[in-house]
Structures are given as C-alpha cells and as structure tokens.
Amino acid sequence: MPRSAAVRSDRPEDRPEDRPMSPGPGPGPVVARPGSGPVTGLRGADRLLRFPGIRYGTAERFARPVRAARHRDTVDATRPGPICPQLPSLLEPVYGPQRDEPPHSEDCLFLAITTPDLTGTRPVMLWVHGGGYLTGGGTLPMFDGGRLAADGDVVVVSVNYRLGALGFLAHEGVSDGNLGLYDQILALEWVSDHIAAFGGDPANITVFGQSAGASSALVLASVPRSRRLIRRVIAQSAPTLATLPTREEAFAAGPRFAEAAGGGDPRTLPVERILEAQARTAQWNADPSAGTGAVPFRPALTEPLGEPATYERIFRSEPVPDLVIGYTSDEGRAFAVSAPSPVPEEAVAELTRTLFTEPAHRTGRQLLDAGGAVFLYEFGWAPADGGFGAVHGVELPFLLGTEKAWAGSPVLGGTDWAGVEAGGRILRRSWAHFARYGSPGIDGFAWPRWTGDDTSVRLIGR
C-alpha cells in the first residue's frame, strides 16, 4: 500500500497516541547512546526525556557546516544549546519577549530532542523554527516539544541554524550563501543517522515548521540530498516561494552589506558589527527607491537548490511526500501590529492573500497534480478577550512550548492556559497522527483530503 494511502486501525491498542504513558522511573539524569557518542539528558516530572543541547555540527564563519566529531566520553546535553546571534524580533509586540532565552553564539549548531522513551520506533517530527531567517531558535522554551511528544507518542526534534547575514549572506570571496539551509540539511542527516537511539524511526521523519520554517520544510523537500530523508511535510503559514532570489539577486546585497560594515572583512568583524550591517542592509532593501523590497538574507537559487527552484518544482522528485499545509485567517495582522505606522485594512487582507493563502493553494495543487495526498487547513482561532485575532503564528502555543514560555503572550490575549490546552491537545494529536499514518484525521476531528477547492479546506478553531 502506498504511504499516502495508509489508514489507521480503529482498535485503541493499535493507536499509540491514544495509550497512556507508562509510569516509568522518576525524574533524573538519563544517558542516550547514539553513534555520535553518549549524551546525558534529563527525565522530567512529566516522564519525558529531554536532551536540549546536542551538537550536530560545527562551522567556521561563512563556511559550510561539517558533522560534529564523534566522542567517547559522555557529553552533558541537559542545557539548551546556544542560538544564533540575532537582533530582537520585529514581531515581539505580537508574541512577547522570550523567557529563559539561551545564550547567543556563532557556535550554535545544536538540536533539542524530546522523547517518551529511548526504545521503540516512534515517528520523528523535526521542527524548523520561523523568524524570517533573522530570529528564533529551536532550543527556545517556546518550542519545547514536550506536549506534542506526550500527546502524540512521537519523538520531537527542533534545530538551530545560522540566521541573517551569518546564515544567508551571498558575497563574492566571502560566502556563496544558503549556509543556514546547509545547516538544516546537516541536522536532518544527523537525525536520520542517530534518532533510533532516542526511540525514533529514521524511516519515518516528518519535517514541520512555521513561516520561514515552513518555507524551509518545503525547500528541504526540493533538495535531493535532503528529500530522500523526508517522508512527510507540515507547512504552517509558509510565505510564497515564488520570489526566492536568483544567484544574481542574492549576490547584489553583498556589496551593500560590505559598505554597511564599514569596509572591514566580514570574516573577522565582531559579531555586533555583523548584526549592525545586517540591519542597515535590510533597511536599504526595504526602501522602495532601492528597487528590491526583498529580504536580503534568506535561501536563494544557488547550491544546493540550483535553478529554478520555485514551488513549481518542489514535488517533482520521487517519492512524493504527504503534505499538510495551511494558514491562519488573518496572517497579515501580525505585521500590521508591528509596523511603525498604521496599515490600511485592505493592505492587511492583501498581504494575507498574496503571501500565505494563495501560495498554500498553489503548492497543494502541485502536489495533487503529482499524485500526492494533501490536507489543507485554515486556522481561525482568536482569543475572545484581547489579542490580535487569528494572526500569523497564533497556532504555535497550541502545538509547542511550555506554559511559562507563553505566559502573558499578547497573541493569546486573555485566554488562560487551560483554554489553550483544550484545543491544543486535539491539534497535537492530529499533527502526530499525520506523522504516523499520513492522515491528520482523528476521532472527533474528521479531516478529508483536499480535493483542490475551498469546500475541502479544513477549518480549525472556529
């Protein structure tokens, strides 16, 4: 039976996500023994095992990453790995400030693993964070995978990758670009090679992400080196891939970046100078008189993507992945909240439609044409008190993170955590069911395949 045609059993004993977790040992250290070398994690009070600081690679500045060296001694992986150097997020007014943020470091190629047990062959869900390729980190508490791992009986992995100029600068004699994408590929390969030691099935990896992370998931599905490792994809609010810069466009930002950096060698500048030059380059690109309007630091149509690598070719390679793809009802509102001046309502709606809604339909249509299984959704939940509506990223606290990490987040308005959990468990079980069986439908939450029209779009949360 083709993977996309797999169906679930109706017997509760055959549905791992419906079984209660066994009591297991109490909290304390635990050691996993992947082929890369033993690592120490922690078993929490929730009985889940967490390894938030596993190194998967190393990289010199503006160089492609290399696999982390094997080690014989047991390495402490109980503390979250550092995230890539970055400036504050422009969407902080929407999500709120980070709590318990790991340190920033150029040595940031770490991943976090949360698993119910070190034995077994559970589906693996690899999270790629968003943030416009400028901010964020997989080891942030807001992306803790505990609730998803517990409710779905899956292994959740989240990755750090290089951001901004450090990850995506293309400049002659300095960098060919796409380094952050190479980081993601290396992390995926590490997971494929070693996740069995954490109770995961390397033959069943679902890559999922939101915003830039969703675009990354789709891009990873277009690169032969990574495509062979991916069984399924979940793309939450993926911005259009139709405007990925060409090689020439990507390299055009290099001289401007060098000018903003004061003419110094980017390979040796202090990281603070790199970030300052990155911000000035982005401001220049956003100026209408510059004639670009594009984000200067993001994946481009250079290696390993090649040309052309827009969404029209993502699913040409075989086998075709199963796909869940969707958007929130009012994506653009988040960017209006963060804008320095008022944004007209029609512009907010246009942003939602052109950058998120239409691209999701186009990408889904292409996979349908390739013979794949597509499940398309619109997430419409909005807080009854406060908040900003069903904005970009509003679904994130339903899937990932801890109560502490999301406490007081403006995006949730006055909703208490019990209210988030009420809908969150359904969504988490649905995502996990898709990772396990190729269908997000669960008991009490039917979800037929998308047929290519609006009537088969699954409305969630409204």
CB 217, CB 130: distance < 8 Å: no
Reply yes or no on whether 331 is catalytic: yes
Three-state SS letters, 200-223: EEEEEEEEEEECHHHHHHHHHCCC
CB 389, CB 329: distance < 8 Å: yes
Reply yes or no on whether 392 is catalytic: yes
Q: How far is CA 410 from each of CA 49, 90, 96, 393, 397, rounded to the nearest angstrom?
A: 30, 14, 6, 12, 12
CA angle 290, 291, 292 (to 5 degrees): 95
Amino acid occupying residue 338: S
Q: How far is CA 419 from each of CA 189, 377, 398, 423, 424, rounded to the nearest angstrom?
A: 37, 21, 10, 7, 8
Among residues 4, 36, 331, 378, the one annotated as catalytic is 331
Calpha distance 128→213 (Å, rounded): 5
- Residue 104: count of CB within 10 angstroms of its CB: 14
Among residues 129, 171, 194, 392, the one annotated as catalytic is 392
Q: Which residues pair with 375 in a beta bridge?
A: 324
- DSSP type of residue 442: B
Among residues 158, 211, 222, 439, the one annotated as catalytic is 211
Strand, coil or helix: what is 443?
Answer: coil
H helices within 117-223, ranges in order? 146-152, 164-168, 179-194, 212-220
Q: Which residues pair with 158 in a beta bridge?
A: 112, 127
Catalytically active residues, by annotation: 211, 331, 392
